[in-house]
Amino acid sequence: MKPVHAIAAVVLASAFASVRGETIRMPEGIVLETPAALELTYQNVPAYDAYKKVIVGWDNGKLLYVIDVTRLPAGANDPEHYLDRLLLDIGGNSVGRAVNVRSKGQYPAMGGLAAHYVDYRFVPTGSERAQHQVVHFLSDSRISFTVFVSVVDTAATGRALKDSMTLLKTATLTVPSSPRPASATSEVNPLVGRWIASRRNSAGLNVEMVTEIKADRSFSGQGSLNGEVVVEYSGTWKSDGKTIDWNYQHSSPPLQERFRQDSDTILSVDGKNLVVRSRESGVTRSLARAE
Protein backbone atom coordinates (compact mmCIF):
# COMPACT_ATOMS: atom_id res chain seq x y z
CA MET A 1 0.00 0.00 0.00
CA LYS A 2 1.34 3.42 -0.92
CA PRO A 3 1.82 6.21 1.65
CA VAL A 4 -1.26 8.42 1.83
CA HIS A 5 0.59 11.43 0.43
CA ALA A 6 1.34 9.39 -2.72
CA ILE A 7 -2.32 8.70 -3.42
CA ALA A 8 -3.40 12.13 -4.70
CA ALA A 9 -1.84 11.90 -8.15
CA VAL A 10 -3.42 8.51 -8.77
CA VAL A 11 -6.93 9.52 -7.69
CA LEU A 12 -6.89 12.77 -9.62
CA ALA A 13 -6.34 10.84 -12.84
CA SER A 14 -10.06 10.01 -12.97
CA ALA A 15 -13.32 11.84 -12.23
CA PHE A 16 -15.93 10.43 -9.86
CA ALA A 17 -19.49 11.49 -9.15
CA SER A 18 -20.09 13.37 -5.93
CA VAL A 19 -22.26 11.76 -3.23
CA ARG A 20 -22.94 15.09 -1.54
CA GLY A 21 -26.30 14.96 0.24
CA GLU A 22 -26.81 11.30 -0.65
CA THR A 23 -27.03 8.01 1.27
CA ILE A 24 -24.08 5.61 1.28
CA ARG A 25 -24.96 2.01 2.14
CA MET A 26 -21.66 0.33 2.88
CA PRO A 27 -21.11 -3.45 2.60
CA GLU A 28 -19.60 -3.40 6.10
CA GLY A 29 -23.13 -2.94 7.46
CA ILE A 30 -23.31 0.79 8.09
CA VAL A 31 -25.33 3.57 6.44
CA LEU A 32 -24.13 7.18 6.19
CA GLU A 33 -26.07 10.28 5.15
CA THR A 34 -23.53 12.57 3.53
CA PRO A 35 -23.93 16.23 4.58
CA ALA A 36 -24.57 18.67 1.75
CA ALA A 37 -21.77 20.88 3.08
CA LEU A 38 -19.11 18.22 2.43
CA GLU A 39 -17.67 17.45 -1.00
CA LEU A 40 -17.33 13.66 -0.95
CA THR A 41 -17.03 10.75 -3.37
CA TYR A 42 -17.41 7.02 -2.68
CA GLN A 43 -15.00 5.15 -4.91
CA ASN A 44 -12.29 2.59 -5.40
CA VAL A 45 -8.76 3.97 -5.00
CA PRO A 46 -6.33 1.32 -6.34
CA ALA A 47 -3.33 3.07 -4.75
CA TYR A 48 -5.00 2.64 -1.34
CA ASP A 49 -6.82 -0.71 -1.71
CA ALA A 50 -7.34 -2.57 -4.97
CA TYR A 51 -10.75 -3.96 -4.03
CA LYS A 52 -12.40 -1.84 -1.37
CA LYS A 53 -14.35 1.37 -1.87
CA VAL A 54 -13.50 4.29 0.41
CA ILE A 55 -14.91 7.77 0.99
CA VAL A 56 -12.75 10.58 -0.37
CA GLY A 57 -12.97 14.20 0.79
CA TRP A 58 -12.34 17.08 -1.62
CA ASP A 59 -12.15 20.86 -1.72
CA ASN A 60 -12.74 22.29 -5.21
CA GLY A 61 -10.99 19.36 -6.85
CA LYS A 62 -8.19 19.08 -4.28
CA LEU A 63 -8.01 15.70 -2.53
CA LEU A 64 -8.00 16.25 1.23
CA TYR A 65 -8.47 12.91 2.98
CA VAL A 66 -9.48 9.25 2.62
CA ILE A 67 -12.03 7.63 4.97
CA ASP A 68 -11.82 3.85 5.38
CA VAL A 69 -14.54 1.94 7.29
CA THR A 70 -13.85 -1.56 8.66
CA ARG A 71 -16.16 -3.85 10.58
CA LEU A 72 -14.36 -5.48 13.51
CA PRO A 73 -14.54 -9.16 14.45
CA ALA A 74 -17.20 -10.25 16.94
CA GLY A 75 -16.23 -9.44 20.52
CA ALA A 76 -14.05 -6.43 19.70
CA ASN A 77 -16.33 -3.95 21.45
CA ASP A 78 -14.04 -2.14 23.92
CA PRO A 79 -13.12 1.27 22.43
CA GLU A 80 -10.57 2.26 25.07
CA HIS A 81 -8.71 -1.05 24.80
CA TYR A 82 -8.71 -0.90 21.01
CA LEU A 83 -7.57 2.73 20.74
CA ASP A 84 -4.89 2.36 23.41
CA ARG A 85 -3.58 -0.75 21.66
CA LEU A 86 -3.65 1.05 18.32
CA LEU A 87 -1.54 3.93 19.63
CA LEU A 88 0.95 1.45 21.10
CA ASP A 89 1.17 -0.36 17.75
CA ILE A 90 1.67 2.88 15.83
CA GLY A 91 4.24 4.09 18.35
CA GLY A 92 6.19 0.86 17.96
CA ASN A 93 6.52 1.57 14.24
CA SER A 94 7.23 5.29 14.50
CA VAL A 95 10.43 7.35 14.65
CA GLY A 96 11.39 7.68 18.31
CA ARG A 97 8.41 5.43 19.18
CA ALA A 98 6.44 8.68 19.49
CA VAL A 99 2.80 9.44 18.67
CA ASN A 100 1.56 13.01 19.04
CA VAL A 101 -2.05 12.76 20.25
CA ARG A 102 -3.75 16.01 19.30
CA SER A 103 -7.13 15.26 20.87
CA LYS A 104 -9.50 12.47 21.86
CA GLY A 105 -13.14 12.32 22.89
CA GLN A 106 -16.61 10.84 22.47
CA TYR A 107 -19.87 11.67 20.67
CA PRO A 108 -23.17 9.91 19.85
CA ALA A 109 -24.33 8.86 16.37
CA MET A 110 -27.98 9.07 15.38
CA GLY A 111 -28.38 5.30 14.95
CA GLY A 112 -27.72 4.50 18.61
CA LEU A 113 -23.99 4.02 18.08
CA ALA A 114 -21.52 5.33 20.65
CA ALA A 115 -18.43 6.85 19.04
CA HIS A 116 -14.92 7.45 20.38
CA TYR A 117 -12.10 9.11 18.46
CA VAL A 118 -8.42 9.98 18.66
CA ASP A 119 -6.64 12.52 16.45
CA TYR A 120 -2.89 11.95 16.14
CA ARG A 121 0.30 12.51 14.13
CA PHE A 122 3.35 10.27 13.79
CA VAL A 123 6.42 9.76 11.61
CA PRO A 124 6.60 6.17 10.29
CA THR A 125 9.89 4.36 10.73
CA GLY A 126 12.07 4.92 7.67
CA SER A 127 10.25 8.14 6.72
CA GLU A 128 10.94 11.80 7.36
CA ARG A 129 7.37 12.89 6.68
CA ALA A 130 4.73 13.03 9.41
CA GLN A 131 1.36 11.41 8.82
CA HIS A 132 -1.86 12.75 10.28
CA GLN A 133 -4.76 10.40 11.00
CA VAL A 134 -8.01 10.38 12.91
CA VAL A 135 -9.50 7.06 13.97
CA HIS A 136 -13.10 6.65 15.15
CA PHE A 137 -14.46 3.61 16.99
CA LEU A 138 -18.24 3.14 16.58
CA SER A 139 -20.18 0.47 18.47
CA ASP A 140 -23.64 -0.50 19.69
CA SER A 141 -21.94 -2.97 22.12
CA ARG A 142 -22.68 -5.85 19.71
CA ILE A 143 -21.20 -4.66 16.43
CA SER A 144 -18.19 -2.37 16.16
CA PHE A 145 -16.44 -0.47 13.40
CA THR A 146 -13.23 1.46 13.00
CA VAL A 147 -13.09 4.45 10.69
CA PHE A 148 -9.60 5.62 9.70
CA VAL A 149 -9.31 9.12 8.27
CA SER A 150 -5.94 9.57 6.53
CA VAL A 151 -4.98 13.14 5.68
CA VAL A 152 -3.55 13.45 2.17
CA ASP A 153 -3.20 17.25 1.90
CA THR A 154 -2.14 19.52 4.75
CA ALA A 155 -5.11 21.73 3.90
CA ALA A 156 -7.21 19.07 5.67
CA THR A 157 -5.27 19.29 8.94
CA GLY A 158 -7.94 21.42 10.57
CA ARG A 159 -10.85 19.65 8.85
CA ALA A 160 -10.19 15.91 9.13
CA LEU A 161 -11.71 15.52 12.61
CA LYS A 162 -14.56 18.00 12.14
CA ASP A 163 -15.63 16.69 8.73
CA SER A 164 -15.44 13.01 9.66
CA MET A 165 -17.33 13.57 12.90
CA THR A 166 -20.07 15.45 11.02
CA LEU A 167 -20.38 12.51 8.62
CA LEU A 168 -20.24 9.76 11.24
CA LYS A 169 -22.86 11.35 13.47
CA THR A 170 -25.33 10.24 10.77
CA ALA A 171 -24.26 6.58 11.05
CA THR A 172 -26.90 3.87 11.42
CA LEU A 173 -26.64 0.11 11.18
CA THR A 174 -28.07 -2.03 8.44
CA VAL A 175 -27.98 -5.72 7.58
CA PRO A 176 -25.12 -6.16 5.10
CA SER A 177 -26.36 -7.15 1.68
CA SER A 178 -25.75 -10.73 0.59
CA PRO A 179 -22.70 -11.19 -1.62
CA ARG A 180 -23.60 -10.87 -5.26
CA PRO A 181 -22.54 -13.53 -7.74
CA ALA A 182 -19.63 -12.64 -9.97
CA SER A 183 -20.53 -11.15 -13.32
CA ALA A 184 -18.89 -9.33 -16.14
CA THR A 185 -19.53 -6.03 -14.36
CA SER A 186 -18.72 -6.97 -10.76
CA GLU A 187 -15.31 -7.81 -9.28
CA VAL A 188 -15.04 -10.42 -6.56
CA ASN A 189 -11.98 -10.29 -4.33
CA PRO A 190 -10.20 -13.62 -4.93
CA LEU A 191 -8.71 -13.55 -1.43
CA VAL A 192 -12.08 -13.87 0.30
CA GLY A 193 -12.82 -17.38 1.46
CA ARG A 194 -11.68 -20.17 3.78
CA TRP A 195 -8.08 -21.30 3.27
CA ILE A 196 -6.19 -24.34 4.64
CA ALA A 197 -2.43 -24.87 4.90
CA SER A 198 -1.28 -28.35 5.94
CA ARG A 199 2.18 -29.82 6.50
CA ARG A 200 4.10 -32.33 8.63
CA ASN A 201 6.66 -30.79 10.98
CA SER A 202 10.10 -32.11 11.89
CA ALA A 203 8.59 -34.05 14.81
CA GLY A 204 6.23 -35.87 12.45
CA LEU A 205 3.13 -34.04 13.69
CA ASN A 206 0.42 -32.89 11.30
CA VAL A 207 0.19 -29.08 11.37
CA GLU A 208 -2.94 -27.46 9.94
CA MET A 209 -3.81 -23.75 9.78
CA VAL A 210 -7.33 -22.73 8.76
CA THR A 211 -7.92 -19.05 8.03
CA GLU A 212 -11.16 -17.43 6.89
CA ILE A 213 -10.67 -14.14 5.03
CA LYS A 214 -13.94 -12.21 5.02
CA ALA A 215 -15.32 -9.57 2.68
CA ASP A 216 -15.84 -7.14 5.59
CA ARG A 217 -12.02 -6.95 5.96
CA SER A 218 -11.89 -9.17 9.05
CA PHE A 219 -10.29 -12.59 9.37
CA SER A 220 -10.28 -15.41 11.88
CA GLY A 221 -8.66 -18.79 12.15
CA GLN A 222 -7.07 -21.53 14.18
CA GLY A 223 -4.06 -23.83 14.14
CA SER A 224 -3.95 -27.45 15.20
CA LEU A 225 -1.42 -30.22 15.88
CA ASN A 226 -2.63 -33.71 15.05
CA GLY A 227 -6.20 -32.40 15.13
CA GLU A 228 -5.91 -30.62 18.51
CA VAL A 229 -6.46 -26.84 18.37
CA VAL A 230 -3.45 -25.03 19.87
CA VAL A 231 -3.98 -21.45 18.69
CA GLU A 232 -6.92 -19.24 17.69
CA TYR A 233 -6.72 -15.75 16.20
CA SER A 234 -8.71 -12.95 14.55
CA GLY A 235 -8.19 -9.43 13.29
CA THR A 236 -8.47 -7.22 10.22
CA TRP A 237 -6.73 -7.30 6.85
CA LYS A 238 -6.21 -5.15 3.78
CA SER A 239 -4.63 -5.72 0.40
CA ASP A 240 -3.48 -3.75 -2.62
CA GLY A 241 -3.60 -6.89 -4.77
CA LYS A 242 0.14 -7.49 -4.39
CA THR A 243 0.44 -7.86 -0.63
CA ILE A 244 -1.80 -8.76 2.33
CA ASP A 245 -1.37 -6.77 5.54
CA TRP A 246 -2.57 -8.56 8.69
CA ASN A 247 -3.50 -6.86 11.97
CA TYR A 248 -3.94 -9.48 14.71
CA GLN A 249 -6.32 -8.03 17.30
CA HIS A 250 -7.13 -11.16 19.31
CA SER A 251 -5.23 -14.39 19.80
CA SER A 252 -5.11 -17.29 22.25
CA PRO A 253 -2.45 -17.70 23.50
CA PRO A 254 -1.60 -13.96 23.18
CA LEU A 255 0.89 -12.90 20.52
CA GLN A 256 3.94 -10.85 21.39
CA GLU A 257 3.52 -7.22 20.40
CA ARG A 258 6.01 -7.42 17.51
CA PHE A 259 4.03 -10.24 15.88
CA ARG A 260 0.66 -8.43 15.89
CA GLN A 261 1.39 -6.81 12.51
CA ASP A 262 2.39 -9.01 9.59
CA SER A 263 2.54 -8.79 5.82
CA ASP A 264 2.64 -11.37 3.02
CA THR A 265 3.59 -10.94 -0.62
CA ILE A 266 1.01 -12.56 -2.90
CA LEU A 267 2.84 -14.82 -5.34
CA SER A 268 -0.31 -16.26 -6.93
CA VAL A 269 -4.02 -16.60 -6.25
CA ASP A 270 -6.85 -18.27 -8.13
CA GLY A 271 -10.10 -20.04 -7.40
CA LYS A 272 -8.38 -22.97 -5.68
CA ASN A 273 -4.95 -21.93 -4.41
CA LEU A 274 -3.21 -19.02 -2.68
CA VAL A 275 0.59 -18.83 -2.49
CA VAL A 276 2.18 -16.16 -0.29
CA ARG A 277 5.65 -15.33 1.03
CA SER A 278 6.13 -13.81 4.47
CA ARG A 279 7.97 -10.48 4.29
CA GLU A 280 9.48 -11.04 7.74
CA SER A 281 10.61 -14.68 7.54
CA GLY A 282 10.81 -15.18 3.77
CA VAL A 283 8.92 -18.47 4.13
CA THR A 284 6.59 -19.39 1.24
CA ARG A 285 3.23 -20.96 2.13
CA SER A 286 0.69 -22.65 -0.13
CA LEU A 287 -2.95 -22.61 0.93
CA ALA A 288 -5.86 -24.47 -0.62
CA ARG A 289 -9.39 -23.10 -0.72
CA ALA A 290 -11.70 -25.14 1.52
CA GLU A 291 -14.79 -26.61 -0.11
Tell me the CA distances in angstroms from 162 to 136, 166, 169, 283, one per residue in order. Answer: 12, 6, 11, 44
Helical H segments across 131-245, by residue range: 160-168
pLDDT of 46: 78
The C-alpha atoms of residue 24 and residue 169 are separated, in whole angstroms, by: 14
pLDDT of 10: 47
Under DSSP, is residue 273 helix (H, G, I), strand (E, B) or coil?
strand
pLDDT of 2: 45
pLDDT of 12: 47
pLDDT of 4: 55
The C-alpha atoms of residue 167 and residue 36 are separated, in whole angstroms, by: 10
pLDDT of 176: 43
pLDDT of 261: 84
CATH architecture, range 4-173: 3-Layer(aba) Sandwich (3.40)
Per-residue pLDDT in tens (0 to 9) along the chain, 291 residues: 445 555 554 454 345 678 888 999 988 889 999 999 999 999 988 777 777 889 999 998 889 999 999 988 877 888 998 999 889 888 888 888 889 999 999 998 887 889 999 999 999 888 888 999 999 999 988 889 999 999 999 889 989 999 999 999 999 987 543 344 443 333 568 898 889 998 888 788 888 999 999 887 888 888 898 888 888 888 888 888 889 999 888 888 877 777 788 899 999 988 889 999 988 888 888 999 986
193-289 fold: Lipocalin (2.40.128)
For the chain, the domains span 4-173, 193-289
Helical H segments across 75-223, by residue range: 79-92, 160-168
